[in-house]
Amino acid sequence: MVLKDRKLILISNDDGIDARGLQSLIEMVKPFGDIYVVAPEQGQSGMSHSISLLEPLRTKEIQSSENIEIVSVKGTPVDCVKLALNQLLPRKPDLMVSGINHGSNSAISVIYSGTMGAAIESSLYGIPSIGFSVLDHKKTADFSIAVKYGRKVVEDVIKNGLPNQVSLNVNFPVVSEADFKGFKICKQTTGVWKEEFDKRTDPYGGNYYWLTGDFHNFEPENDESDEWALKNNYASIVPIKIDFTEYKTIIELKKRYI
Amino acid sequence: MVLKDRKLILISNDDGIDARGLQSLIEMVKPFGDIYVVAPEQGQSGMSHSISLLEPLRTKEIQSSENIEIVSVKGTPVDCVKLALNQLLPRKPDLMVSGINHGSNSAISVIYSGTMGAAIESSLYGIPSIGFSVLDHKKTADFSIAVKYGRKVVEDVIKNGLPNQVSLNVNFPVVSEADFKGFKICKQTTGVWKEEFDKRTDPYGGNYYWLTGDFHNFEPENDESDEWALKNNYASIVPIKIDFTEYKTIIELKKRYI
């Protein structure tokens, strides 16, 4: 990589270095600067904010040229970001983008998502960071609307920045361009995944369980929520900051612990 | 398990089914009801809120008696909770406790923690849930203060409950009982882990990296923060709710996306 007076953009994802969504994300942000991809060697869906404490990280150089470096890491999405920022990148990046994820990361799914894990981790270091997802798990998912309109989000973040430690969770509906209604700024929808495990027996009599489930929306009518936006053909943008504290409950608990 | 008119308590952890902290947690909550342990077969430190989407879950019955069942799961802490609530337990538990973790889960560490991943997951299903940690990574960590005083937290939660989808992140300092100052209700400290990767070369010339680092506290003087409490010999209790939305930024962004 020859560093010029250009933006440096870090890219990661959770579907792994070979995912089509990653190629689409490179295409999306290429006009804005030099690119450094540090992404997991293999698919890491559902890896959330996990980090490798019991195994060391190994890297593999995939591509090295003037405007783009691509390195794969045997590790999680958050490992990739930590290693990129601490070891691999020539300097602190101006922007970090994650994805494009094959599948939704709206509502509570944000907490299970490796794509958002990577974006959130990057934001903790004061880097404007955006996670992109398309509501289509299939390998053949169409990323064209995400690439075209995602560019507007990138443009806005480069121009106006984001508050310190804030990232964006951007999800695109599966919809034709004619029906696409543009962006809606949203809150994370309240709800929960209800699991139904698929219990099976292996040829040797052992039981095993596949995780399956449906999202239960606790506020389906709330037009400020990301689920509502997506159901109504908007792309949702949820600004995110990590403070797990429930401040209201602090007041109650203080009365009980004197 | 013979279900009587007693409380049913779900236990999980991230240090794995053989961890001493798990035995201490059983000891802590035994007086309050019947116990169902569903914990990872192996250590899962740093696994955060991750779930197994690419591998099915397998279970192993470790112990089955009148007042206690122990099952190990080849999976993550959150997998354990999902499987427990959906498949294994005879009914919805009255309480969930996670830990006792060998090492701190204060401040931003809460997002990397498998112990807190399990407690938070359980809270999403409306179950009062508490994660316990002791600030000592060593296998020989002394859990006696956590067992004795953690019981008071359990008692309070059984008696007074917790708001829906709220869990508690309880951390104990390493301190003698004479110096222990009791509990302090806190907020999550703002800060970030600064990594320093330990780069090594294997006997075959390949590079690998071990993750190491230090926590940088952005508000060391804030006596409402969990780091301050722990440094001053208090056990910290942070009430937790999962809404990643940064509401202040919604207002700003709405002006930019019209």
Backbone phi and psi for residue B239, each to the nearest 5 degrees, phi listed first:
-75, 140
In chain B, which residues have their Cβ closer than 8 Å to the Cβ of A169? 244
Contact predicate B131/B15, CB 8 Å: no
CB contact under 8 A, A50 and B46: yes
From B210's Cα to the closest Cα of chain A, the distance in A is: 5
Percent of chain A residues topping a pLDDT of 90? 88
Q: What is the ipTM of this complex?
A: 0.91
Identify the structural domains of chain B with CATH numbers, from first to last.
Answer: 7-189+220-256 (3.40.1210.10)
**DSSP string of B226-248, one letter each residue:** HHHHHHTTPEEEEEE----B-HH
Which of A190, A192, A245 is closest, CB to CB, to B239? A245
CB contact under 8 A, A238 and B244: yes
**Sign of the CA dihedral running B248, B251, B253, B255:** negative
- Residues B17 and B37: their CA atoms lie apart, in Å, by 9
A115-162 residue pLDDT tens:
999 999 999 999 999 999 999 998 889 999 999 999 999 999 999 999
- Residues A213 and B114: their CA atoms lie apart, in Å, by 21
In chain A, which residues have their Cβ closer than 8 Å to the Cβ of B188? 243-245
pLDDT at position B28: 98
Tell me the average pLDDT of chain B.
95
Report in angstroms the alpha-carbon separations of B42 from A33, A99, B17, B19, B228: 43, 30, 7, 9, 32
Tell me which of B60, B192, B240, B245 to substitute to probe the interface with A (most A C-beta atoms closer than 10 Å).
B245
A158-184 residue pLDDT tens:
999 999 999 999 999 999 999 999 999
- Residues A116 and A53: their CA atoms lie apart, in Å, by 20
B76-98 residue pLDDT tens:
999 999 999 999 999 999 999 99
- Residues B177 and B143: their CA atoms lie apart, in Å, by 11
User: Lowest-pLDDT range, A7-21, A86-100, A238-252, B204-218?
Assistant: B204-218
In chain B, which residues have their Cβ closer than 8 Å to the Cβ of A43? 54
From A29's Cα to the closest Cα of chain B, the distance in A is: 19
pTM: 0.94
CB contact under 8 A, B58 and A195: no
Statement: residue B3 has pLDDT above 80: no
Q: Is B16 left (phi over 0), alpha (psi -120 to 50) or beta?
A: left
Tell me the average pLDDT of chain A.
95
Percent of chain B residues topping a pLDDT of 90? 88
- Residues B229 and A212: their CA atoms lie apart, in Å, by 41
Which of B49, B195, B248 is closest, CB to CB, to A111? B49
From B178's Cα to the closest Cα of chain A, the distance in A is: 19
pLDDT band (50, 70, 90) for residue B1: low
B94-148 residue pLDDT tens:
999 999 999 999 999 999 999 999 999 999 999 999 999 999 998 889 999 999 9
Which of A183, A190, A239 is closest, CB to CB, to B246? A239
Chain A and chain B share a number of CB contacts under 8 A equal to 215
